[in-house]
Structure 1
């Protein structure tokens, strides 16, 4: 198991969605904020992106943009007055314009995520992650973009399975690319580059039910308990045992939302000796009992 995969799996609530947008001439569309993460890949032409918070980016062919917190934003042919934007919903068929010298074609979509249980790695992502096409450090991202664009342009047998898988791959590569180019102040890229912290995270994510202790984790990481506590707390934001408790609660929430397993089985899977002990810890973390949490997630909103 690894942190990035687990972080994504813990908050995913549905299949990703994508479609193609082809426009030309003067145009300006607005995408409202939403529960999840959005992305755009520029296939041809140039355009501008402006978030509701004022971040503005010039986008070129091959550029990829991730909006990990679902920020509202505008896409336009040029820097423009936001008031002239028309609403665009990626869940509907986008307008298609005749091809011309100023045609812009984008692959637009979103991932449905539950931000209420977001892993701190994902929470640390900025509102916009811009990945230019000419970045020499992201060849795998370029390959994923090319595969996705080709599949979207000419669907064939198996496309219904291929597209969601390629979209998942695109998300992983965009997050991975950010960890390699994040500012020095970013905490989680440094955590994932630290061999001691990475080893402890691997142990906790691989087997959260194990009766870990700080001493045991320090021994497995090859450092003293004091060293582990200092490095892990500095880079992750909390001690290893506190992180383990949080991750167990996150796993519990996922199991309650996605399975019908009895609470006793869930408790065993996440490392608690009894349903009572798990319920007490879950109530402290989420403010509701496991039963009420499961019911609320099963009720259509």
Structure 2
């Protein structure tokens, strides 16, 4: 496993969902804050997205937006003032393929004059919209570092793998081909990976993009995530990275925010929590998989980190 895959797997719960939306006329919909992450991809036309507490973002064909922390937002055919925000229709009330606006009797009205890009408010808009169910209580710091809104415009030559995933997802959502029950959630997961990759490539000044781009720190992270149960020491990690122990400790701590062994302890307990939630494995097996010699040793560390025992945690989370 790599760091990005592990960061997603540690917080993901249930299956992601997505649907294709086509609207026309004057419309304005609100998505309330939610536990998870959301995305929108514009396939045709132009629209506006206004995140709670943020600035409006103009979206065009091929643009993708990720809201990694479930930020509430409004999406509309044109910029919205305060009065328009109060009239926004809840996204859940959207009706099949007719559009949100029809519910207020405004479908088909022509909007204002076109803007300088030739877009007229009220023109047809087609989007892919979806949600990921995430437990953010144990979010990996890589995901925690993501801003409230990640806008990935469709620029020439940018993220070809993201564009390919968008095309495949749009076709699966639209046609419901045989096997879509497996293909759809897999493609939505793939879309999340590619959006995070694209953000990291564009924001190399962030802590985690820098950590993943640093050969020494990245090598140590790959080793820890590849086999968290191994008897790691700073010396053994330094050998994996091909540097001295002081060099590894200095670079790892500066970029990741905690020393290598402290990060390993945190990651082992995060993995233990995921196994307790998602599997019925006995505590002894869970302890062995995350690098603790006995269930007692895991229980002691787990209680110190989570404030409860593994058994109570499993019962509370439905594991």
Q: Do they fold alike, i.e. is TM over 0.5?
A: yes
CA distance in 2, matches of 1:252, 1:140: 32
Q: Provide the alpha-carbon RMSD of the alignment.
A: 1.7
CA distance in 1, matches of 2:156, 2:65: 13
The corresponding residue for 1:4 is 4
| CA-CA distance at 1:188 after TM superposition | 0.2
Is the Cα contact below 8 Å between 1:151 and 1:163 reproduced in 2? yes
Query: Which of 147, 168, 179 is equivalent to 2:200?
Result: 179
TM-score (structure 1 length as normaliser): 0.95
The corresponding residue for 2:318 is 298
CA distance in 2, matches of 1:298, 1:154: 35
CA distance in 1, matches of 2:308, 2:55: 37
The corresponding residue for 1:48 is 48
Alignment of 1:274-285 (within 5 A): 274-285=294-305
Is the Cα contact below 8 Å between 2:204 and 2:210 reproduced in 1? no
| Alignment coverage as a number of residue pairs | 297
| CA-CA distance at 1:183 after TM superposition | 5.5
Is the Cα contact below 8 Å between 1:218 and 1:224 reproduced in 2? yes
The corresponding residue for 2:128 is 107
| CA-CA distance at 1:133 after TM superposition | 1.2
Q: CA 1:290 to 1:93, structure 2 compared with 1: closer, same or farther past 3 Å?
A: farther
The corresponding residue for 2:222 is 202
CA distance in 2, matches of 1:94, 1:67: 24
Determine helix, strand or coil for the equivalent of 2:62.
Answer: coil
Determine helix, strand or coil for the equivalent of 2:232.
Answer: coil
Query: Which of 214, 222, 240 is equivalent to 1:220?
Result: 240
Is the Cα contact below 8 Å between 1:22 and 1:95 reproduced in 2? yes
Structure 1 residue runs without a partner (length 5+)? none
Alignment of 1:1-301 (within 5 A): 1-81=1-81, 82-89=85-92, 94-97=96-99, 102-182=123-203, 184=205, 186-298=206-318
| CA-CA distance at 1:273 after TM superposition | 1.2
Q: CA 1:114 to 1:135, structure 2 compared with 1: closer, same or farther past 3 Å?
A: farther
Find runs of 4+ consecutive structure 1 residues off by over 6 angstroms: 98-101
CA distance in 2, matches of 1:135, 1:123: 29
CA distance in 2, matches of 1:232, 1:137: 30
CA distance in 2, matches of 1:183, 1:224: 25
Q: CA 1:139 to 1:103, structure 2 compared with 1: closer, same or farther past 3 Å?
A: same
Q: CA 1:156 to 1:93, structure 2 compared with 1: closer, same or farther past 3 Å?
A: farther
TM-score (structure 2 length as normaliser): 0.90
